[in-house]
Amino acid sequence: MKRVAIVGAGVMGRATAWALASRGAEVTLHEQFELEHDRGSSHGRTRIVRLSYPDSEWVELALEARAGWAELERETGRALLDLVGLVELASSPEATSAAALAAHGLEHRVLSEGEARALGVAPPEGWTAVLEPTGGIVHADLAMRALLDAALSRGARVEAGSHVESPDALDADVVVVTAGAWVRRLVPDVPVQVTRETVAYFAREGPPLLSVVELGEGGGHLLFALHDPRFGVKAGVHHAGVEADPDEAGEPDGDVVRRVAEWLRLRLPDVDSSPVAAETCLYTTTADERFVLDRRGRVVVGSACSGHGFKFAPFVGRRLAELALA
Ligand SMILES: Cc1cc2nc3c(=O)[nH]c(=O)nc-3n(C[C@H](O)[C@H](O)[C@H](O)COP(=O)(O)OP(=O)(O)OC[C@H]3O[C@@H](n4cnc5c(N)ncnc54)[C@H](O)[C@@H]3O)c2cc1C
């Protein structure tokens, strides 16, 4: 039986532990902090899930990940996704994900301005809004717990408060590094940048808001809003933060909060755009927002989920497990 050590118990480390333990490996998951800390990238209550990506390759990965979430829900008997729908806003019909969704036979609908407004979303003038009924949210906190429990119930061990200085320090056949913003401390040549991003919360009551993603130039998401079970709405700007040292504490950026509030006022006019809370979260980013999933001898690196990785965790976990057992 292969002995695999995993460094980092964020969503990627936990998904990898689950995938490896399911394949019969002897797994030890090391986390430098307590398990439910908020100093990395995976804390908080919700993340957007969507199959909508303008690039068909990402749609495929999102579908594979979606199957993994369904498997985790079955295995743990817990509901983790809330598929309340997602509205994507883009500057032209060609810039939306409609063609990529259609190529995979996935349900979606281009909305008229009136239809978008009836859903509470006000697109910029001349823009296109596409509804993906199967988009929505993953309950991030519940998903983190479920991944860990599924891994533990299949025999994985977890060591919290276990800071790993180097992969060489671990007695294992293979070491998987899923250290998020700290990855370069363990594998220095991983080509990533770390930034501290700000998300803001807004008060809203009633049934969960559908998720909203506004695409920027180049097809990446630029601004987003989603349901938050505590306050009502969570919203943020993609890549508005400055480069950060993950070991230093950081405060929410007031300018970003104001920008998000103004966007919310324009795009979700039924929501009160006075922020009620804000927090930060670390992005670990590659230049093209793709993931690093590599094997280098005894070390496997999984990194750079670039602000959109959570939804892909079951896919990332499976790939890293395959690399570790190869
Ligand atoms: C503001 C924000 C909004 C986002 N929104 C979305 C969204 O809507 N949809 C979506 O799909 N994704 C979203 N994401 C992205 C997603 O949350 C991340 O891709 C994901 O959480 C990354 O997880 P991770 O496991 O790589 O990193 P982390 O969660 O940071 O985990 C890494 C872990 O490794 C531990 N560690 C590091 N070094 C060591 C060491 N030497 N020894 C032991 N342990 C160590 C750390 O303490 C940490 O717990 C968002 C991210 C942010 C920041």
Structure confidence at residue 289 (pLDDT): 80
Burial, 247: exposed, middle or buried (Cβ in 10 Å; 0-12, 13-18, 19+)? exposed
- Pull the structure tokens for residue 205: 């009551």
Choice from 310, 316, 319 to test ligand 1 binding pocket (greatest atom count within 8 A of CB): 310
Is the per-residue pLDDT at 32 higher than 90?
A: yes
Q: Mapping DSSP to helix (H, G, I), strand (E, B) and coil, where does residue 260 land?
A: helix
Contacts of residues 23-26 at CB distance under 8 Å and 24 or more positions apart, as own/partner, are: 23/321, 23/325, 25/1, 25/321, 25/324, 25/325, 26/1, 26/2, 26/155
**Binding site membership of 275 for ligand 1 (Cβ less than 6 Å):** no
Among left, alpha and beta (phi > 0; psi -120 to 50; other), residue 140 is: alpha
Q: Tell me the fold of 3-325.
A: D-Amino Acid Oxidase; Chain A, domain 2 (3.30.9)
CA distance 159 to 93: 49
Ligand 1 atom having least distance to the Cα of 163: 42
Distance 180 CA to ligand 1 centre (A): 5
**Binding site membership of 199 for ligand 1 (Cβ less than 6 Å):** yes
Per the CB < 8 A criterion, the answer to whether 130 and 87 are in contact is: yes
Per the CB < 8 A criterion, the answer to whether 222 and 307 are in contact is: no
Q: Which segments of 229-268 are extended strands (E)?
A: 232-237, 242-243
Distance 82 CA to ligand 1 centre (A): 21
Angle, helices 140-153 vs 313-325, to 10°: value is 30
Asked whether the CA dihedral 232, 237, 242, 244 is positive or negative, the reply is positive
Tokens 């927090």 sit on residue: 279
Structure confidence at residue 242 (pLDDT): 86
Residue with the smallest CA separation from ligand 1 atom 50 is 307
Distance 35 CA to ligand 1 centre (A): 13
Q: Mapping DSSP to helix (H, G, I), strand (E, B) and coil, where does residue 70 land?
A: helix
Residue with the smallest CA separation from ligand 1 atom 19 is 309
Structure confidence at residue 219 (pLDDT): 62
> What HEC string does 191-225 produce?
CCEEEEEEEEEEECCCCCCCEEEEECHHHCEEEEE
Domain boundaries, the chain: 3-325
Residue-wise burial string across 216-238, b where 16 or more C-beta atoms lie within 10 A, e elsewhere: eeebbbbbbbbbbeebbbbbbbb
What average pLDDT does the segment 104-122 reach?
97
What average pLDDT does the segment 59-84 reach?
98
Could you read off the pLDDT of 207-244 as tens digits, one per residue?
999 999 999 876 666 899 999 999 999 999 987 788 99
Could you read off the pLDDT of 140-157 as tens digits, one per residue?
999 999 999 999 999 999
Residues 6+ apart with CB under 8 A from 171: 3, 5
Structure confidence at residue 271 (pLDDT): 98
**Binding site membership of 47 for ligand 1 (Cβ less than 6 Å):** yes
The pLDDT-based confidence of 307 (bands split at 50, 70, 90) is confident
Per the CB < 8 A criterion, the answer to whether 84 and 139 are in contact is: no
Question: Global pTM?
Answer: 0.97
Is the per-residue pLDDT at 93 higher than 90?
A: yes
Per the CB < 8 A criterion, the answer to whether 39 and 33 are in contact is: yes
Distance 42 CA to ligand 1 centre (A): 4
